[in-house]
Chain A
Amino acid sequence: EVQLVESGGGLVQPGGSLRLSCAASGFTFSSYAMSWVRQAPGKGLEWVSGISYSGTSTYFADSVKGRCTISRDNSKNTLYLQMNSLRAEDTAVYYCAKDVSAARGLDHWGQGTLVTVSS
């Protein structure tokens, strides 16, 4: 059974940093691209960042470009999202999700971790 478990969310002050983690199991993690998708309270889904299966290619939404870094450790089956210079508008539930393949869809999602940016 595929499982994705996010952690690392919490309350952070504007301008602060957080690192989110996503522990994967139940599939060959190193064979699939992964994404982070967020959802602000009461709002829709927003794709944030993606990374190729090997980690050599990374992608970011304009809203986080320059403030976020995505990485993966295939030896630990773990995906990361480092977020810096956080703003109030970054407040959201952050989901990690597994790619079907080649950006065809996201077939498994974690339960999400809440990031709240507030003073």
Chain B
Amino acid sequence: QSALTQPASVSGSPGQSITISCTGTSSDVGGYNFVSWYQQHPGKAPKLMIYDVSNRPSGVSNRFSGSKSGNSASLTISGLQAEDEADYYCSSYTSSSTLGPYVFGTGTKVTVL
């Protein structure tokens, strides 16, 4: 199964909003509302930021929001802060093979200018 497609990098100034896209197919992103997003700082384990397309786990800032349209999902970070500089990965449930269930995105490096 192929990885979901994300831009390699996105940048923004403090206080701005940025959006990271995640493109899949009808067998994953487009077919199910099971898209999740993860934040990973260097040398650290990933942290769940969004699940079920737009739900935030307890403790995650409401500056993070998720959405989906067709075969693409998006993560928006509003009020960008220095601590948001990290790698971000999307993931989705996939039915593209019997070997599922998760497929990850290629990852996006967010830089706070």
Contacts and interface: CB of A to CB of B under 8 A. Distances in A.
A1 interface: no
Nearest to A47: B102
B51 A104 contact: yes
Interface residues of B, number: 27
Contacts, number: 74
B105 interface: yes
Interface in A44-76: 44-47, 50, 59-62, 65
Contacts of B102: 35, 37, 47, 50, 103, 106
B39 to A, nearest CB: 11
B89 A44 contact: yes
Nearest to A111: B45
A103 B104 contact: no
Interface of B: 1, 3, 34, 36, 38, 40, 45-48, 50-52, 57, 89, 91, 93, 97, 99-107
